[in-house]
Structure 1
């Protein structure tokens, strides 16, 4: 066997492994949701444990996608599956993924979106990006989260606001975080922020690139995450 035949495309192997793990996690999350529905309302402790398990499984799922995407980006091979999507469907999938945790934590998620929005994007990667943002908002907010989707200056905007304490100053300052400088030990920063910027900037139209921005304040007084796509 030649050296070329012995060589392994690690990206392909990693992609296959991540795909299998994601499938297993999805089945696990479905089982958790089904079990949660079978529990009576008078057993809040068990339902709370299930909600936490669902939350952690969702975080693992996001982490797997981030791992694969960051590896491929480091190899200059980040494939995008750009297609035309109804944004209402993207938002609906996002809400369905987090419905269980929202209900168990008695959190209020308000959604405001322009009607009949259609856009070209990678729905899977954008979905993972937004899910990570929403999961963080659920973790750090007190009660309310607001997701708004609209167009501005011929660009698509996703804005996630919460009523928590807001982003720490080091995150607000990290506008151009690099892989070498990202601190994976910082809860709301590190890989998540780097991944979000990576996926946003991979969406291009002519010379325009997608971007993310972080603010404090907004309509709920907490953190504000804004994703803009050309």
Structure 2
């Protein structure tokens, strides 16, 4: 039997996802260039912002699928080094600048400029970026990006004032991977990706993890990435 006929469907899907991701990256760049035109109306700017946002979501989902596939095959490269948390959060904002410029969402960044942590720059930026994109989708008015040291962990949080996480997603705090499914428009793929990537950041005693919670005093949810 030839190697081609031995190719399983997951490999075909991963290869196709990689090609689509490259095309989407070029599309994102084109949208960004088009949005720079000085003859666009506010409505047209918002249309480009929405198009950029949805394209970013698809691009992110494909990246997550590829990362999970590579993790399953033990082929996911992890490059952990000391990075600035503030610069990482700024990169997340910059990638979504078109959307933020056209929508009335207030974003507050609360982080010490000197705070550093050991993490894979690309993977963690994608991880927080995906959570941020979903927060923009579900929030009512405000999103907070926050980072701080808590004992032996660096905590990176994304907080919104939306309707909160459904119960089946909160089950991730009890390691209930079987609970991942769609609910209230929120897919579990991004959280599964976040959990896998967080767990790859570890020391001899500690392992990275994520926490989900809904705010008690008001509407909204808080996502927390904890890195050792």
What TM-score bracket applies, with the shorter chain setting the length? 0.7 to 0.9
* Cα distance change, pair 88–49 in 1 and its aligned pair in 2 (3 A): same
Is the CA contact (8 Å cut-off) linking 1:158 and 1:228 kept in structure 2? Answer: yes
The CA distance in 1 between the partners of 2:2 and 2:187, in whole Å, is 41
Q: Deviations over 1:187-214 (max 9, x none)?
A: 3242111111111111111121111111
Structure 1 residue 55 displacement after superposition: 0.6
Is the CA contact (8 Å cut-off) linking 1:212 and 1:227 kept in structure 2? Answer: yes
What is the count of residue pairs matched by the alignment? 227
State the partner residue of 1:87: 85
Q: Give the RMSD, CA atoms, in angstroms.
A: 2.6
TM-score normalised to the size of structure 2? 0.87
* Cα distance change, pair 181–144 in 1 and its aligned pair in 2 (3 A): closer
The CA distance in 2 between the partners of 1:109 and 1:195, in whole Å, is 24
* Cα distance change, pair 15–79 in 1 and its aligned pair in 2 (3 A): farther
Structure 1 residue 7 displacement after superposition: 6.3
Structure 1 residue 32 displacement after superposition: 1.2
TM-score normalised to the size of structure 1? 0.86
State the partner residue of 1:38: 37
* Cα distance change, pair 95–225 in 1 and its aligned pair in 2 (3 A): same
Find the residue that maps to 1:139 and give its secondary structure.
helix
The CA distance in 1 between the partners of 2:166 and 2:180, in whole Å, is 15
Q: Deviations over 1:59-86 (max 9, x none)?
A: 1111111111111222233321212212
The CA distance in 2 between the partners of 1:219 and 1:97, in whole Å, is 31
Structure 1 residue 126 displacement after superposition: 0.8
Matched ranges for 1:33-182 at <5 A:
33-40=32-39, 43-175=41-173, 176-178=175-177, 181-182=179-180
Which segments of 5 or more consecutive residues in structure 1 lack a partner in the other structure?
A: none
